[in-house]
Amino acid sequence: MWKSGAAKPPTQAVIKMMSSENMSQNDSFLDSQFRYSVFPTFYSLVFIFGLIANCYALYILRNIRDVKAVNEVRIYMTNLTVADLLFIIILPLWIDYYNQWGNWRFHEAMCRVSGAMFYINTYCSILFLAVISFNRYWVVTRPLSAATSDHWHRGVLVSLVIWLFSVSASIPYLFQKAINDDKVSGKSRCFEGYHNMDDRTKHSLVLTHFLIIAFFFVVFLLVVICNLLIVRALLVPPVSPHGTRVSVRSLGLKCRALGMVMVVLVVFVVCFVPYHLVQGPWTLAVLQLAMVGDRDSRQLLNDAHQVTLMLMGLNCLLDPVIYCLATKMFRSYISMHFKKVMRGRSCPRNSSQTTVSMETRAPKEVMGPTVH
């Protein structure tokens, strides 16, 4: 018998309700509400300005295709632009997804294609930025070879390998289950809501994500080393066969080359590094395979992951800036084109061939006068 006023033992209904609440917390989808107001606006801006910038970049790259000295880097830039456009054209689907508060209204095949496009753009961008850095290092350290040779075939082969690698790595996303039903909200989540999957599926996802993270940081390390070597080559004049130093480039040319190095590193540090730093612990947290702090800590981690996703979209806007800094011919064509447009005339297709760039300077001009 319980005395009057004493605490009564929990009834069976209360125990059942508490157990149900705990299960609901474990099964609930870890969400960040701010993205439903921020992402549609952000992705709409990326879609508008990214589409304009990349279509115009593609137009310019097409019109300077007859210039032998920029053929290889032009091929890389063209492919990078195509990768950006593939991501941009599927943005309206994601804008609608976030406008619907995380509810996918289209066919599952569209969800799969959208997810695959996201990964193709991300890793094509990373790899093409890497090979552009390697190409600029070759131009800086081998100016005579760069000015007198045409490596069009090498550019095509490298681009083909990058596309095959990126598309092959994304093929699983085209066939795996992409839409998961949120039991709590009743919404159809696109490439989200894997916390209710079986352990085998979860461990497979974790392995895939950590392999991707490792691959990214290997490429990022190579890009950093390559760009540091470019900086060293630009700031330390090479020594001539007679032991005297030569002046290789003007101050303006060096500043533009250094600017390109900075923009490439900024794209990596701002757009890609945060995502891959957060991706590992976030994956473990949302799949409930590791206790990453309390619920508030996991929520903070999820919020950070959403911000890094948004930052990745900026690379579509920053890539055209790299094109301007990577070759003077690109900048010259833009300047000439706008002057012609202001005068009501179209820019001649081969007008860019008359401009002088780092790649097309005569050997004597590239090497500069010898300092005695």
**In 137-152, which positions are buried (b, 16+ CB within 10 angstroms) versus exposed (e)?**
bbbbeebeebbeeebe
Mean pLDDT of 70-94: 90
Instruction: Name the CATH topology of 32-182+191-239+247-360.
Output: Rhopdopsin 7-helix transmembrane proteins (1.20.1070)
State the CB neighbour count (10 A cutoff) for residue 42. Answer: 18
Phi, psi (5° rounding) for residue 56? -70, -40
**Three-state secondary-structure class, residue 180:** strand
Q: Which residues contact 187 (CB under 8 A, 6 or more apart)?
A: 100, 101, 102, 103, 104, 181
Average pLDDT (6-24) is 45
The mean pLDDT value for 101-105 works out to 92
Side-chain-side CA neighbours of 312 within 13 Å: the count stands at: 26
Separation CA 31–CA 202 (nearest Å): 18
Summary mean pLDDT of the chain: 78
3-class state of residue 14 by DSSP:
helix
Relative orientation angle of helices 91-99 and 108-141, to the nearest 10 degrees: 130
Domain ranges of the chain: 32-182+191-239+247-360
Q: How far is CA 338 from CA 53, 70, 345, 346, in A?
A: 14, 22, 9, 9
In this structure, are residues 219 and 132 in contact, taking their beta carbons and an 8 Å threshold?
no
Strands 179-181 and 188-190: antiparallel
Predicted pLDDT of residue 218? 96
- Which tens digit of pLDDT belongs to each residue from 129-187? 999 888 888 877 776 665 566 678 888 999 999 999 999 998 988 888 888 888 777 88
Residue 250: per-residue pLDDT: 56
The model's pLDDT over 248-276, given as tens digits with 9 standing for 90+, comes to 445 666 677 777 788 889 899 999 999 99
Q: Looking at the chain, how many residues does it have?
A: 372
C-alpha distances in Å from residue 330, one per residue of 66, 70, 143, 264: 13, 10, 18, 17
pLDDT band, residue 15 (cuts 50/70/90): very low
- Interval 302-360: pLDDT, tens: 999 999 999 999 999 998 888 877 767 777 777 787 777 777 655 554 444 434 333 44
Residue 316: what are its φ and ψ, rounded to 5°?
A: -65, -25
Q: What is the mean pLDDT of residues 289-311?
A: 84
Highest mean pLDDT among 58-62, 225-229, 293-297, 352-356: 225-229
